[in-house]
Amino acid sequence: MPSPFSPLPLSVIVVSADSGPGLRDCVRRVLACDTALELLLIDNASTDGVPQAAARAHDHDPRFRLLQNHANLGFGPAANRAAAQAKGELLLVLNPDCLLDQSSLDRLLAVFASERQVGLLGAVVCDAQGEPDPASHRRDPLLRRALASLSGGKGERVEVEGVMPDGLVEAEAVSGALMLMTRSLFERLGGFDEGYFLHCEDLDLCRRVRDAGWRVLLAGDVRVPHAKGGSSRHRPVFVSRHKHRGMWRWFRKFDPAARNPLVAATVWLGIWAHFLVQVPGQLARKVAGK
């Protein structure tokens, strides 16, 4: 019996890029839901064969579509291309290592249907041990907050301190691992900013949703397992480089501190120094993992 909480057709968008075998479980769990939906898996030139295997496994299911890019376009550009082909009036952007179930989907759709002026809705994504990812509930990464987070000193931080909410709360930003919004608002905002390749495009979208006068909400009672980093373990330096590029782009777009050339130059140096310091450890962990 179809879910009673789906007033609008739903398009689930999953972007993959050598995401590994966990992608199969992600696809299987989405298609096991009774909600009226379609699943668009858009692949960024994976070489692991998993997207094609998922397509073969579900070739009998008209709700599933595999879209293939001939190069790795990045997360935001790929999601935008899938959204342009989506038929649903609601878009659920889901990471390829997130495991969604019917009750979680019902709750998200129910919140979206009952709350006013919802622009974007997220959930708490958790690791294999059930620990919530702090990225599920964040503030804008303004320079003063980032410095407080890095130094461990006093002051408001990027991460929201305290226990992860267990109910519905307003947030400045939620995790891009799971984001639900209307296709009309997504299109009105121009989708994800394609100037980001990977990381921080979710922070950017949350900020633009709020700037447009809509609410960003976190359904704290929805907990979704998320095997974080499924597509990045074998390319840690590549992923880290684009994460730091994303930090710089967000800072230049939204942080008032970027208007000061001296501060901007200092931040640029700090971001790339932080990247370089991390490289040896990332390479060592990659070798150890092999």
Segments in the chain forming alpha helices (H): 22-31, 50-57, 75-85, 102-114, 143-151, 183-188, 201-211, 236-254, 261-289
Give the model's pLDDT for residue 1: 46
CB distance 47 to 159 below 8 Å: no
Q: pTM, whole model, 2 decimals?
A: 0.92
Give the model's pLDDT for residue 175: 96
Task: Reply yes or no on whether the pLDDT at 208 is more than 70.
Answer: yes
Task: Reply yes or no on whether the pLDDT at 181 is more than 90.
Answer: yes
What CA–CA distance (Å, rounded) separates 240 from 242? 5
Give the model's pLDDT for residue 229: 55
Q: Over the chain, what is the mean pLDDT?
A: 91
- Give the model's confidence band at 6: pLDDT under 50 very low, under 70 low, under 90 confident, else very high: very low
Structure-model confidence comparison of residues 154 and 73, the more confident one: 73
Q: What is the mean pLDDT of residues 187-203?
A: 96
Task: Reply yes or no on whether the pLDDT at 4 is more than 50.
Answer: no
- 142-148 long-range Cβ contacts below 8 angstroms, 24+ apart: 142/254, 142/255, 142/257, 143/251, 143/255, 143/257, 143/263, 143/267, 144/257
List, for residues 218-227, the tens digit of each pLDDT value. 999 999 999 7
Integer-rounded Cα Rg, in Å, for the chain is 19
List, for residues 226-261, the tens digit of each pLDDT value. 976 555 667 888 889 999 999 999 999 999 999 999
3-state secondary structure of 112: helix
- Give the model's confidence band at 5: pLDDT under 50 very low, under 70 low, under 90 confident, else very high: very low
Task: Reply yes or no on whether the pLDDT at 59 is more than 90.
Answer: yes
Q: What is the mean pLDDT of residues 118-144?
A: 95
What CA–CA distance (Å, rounded) separates 123 from 223? 6
Give the model's pLDDT for residue 231: 52
List, for residues 72-106, the tens digit of each pLDDT value. 999 999 999 999 999 999 999 999 999 999 999 99
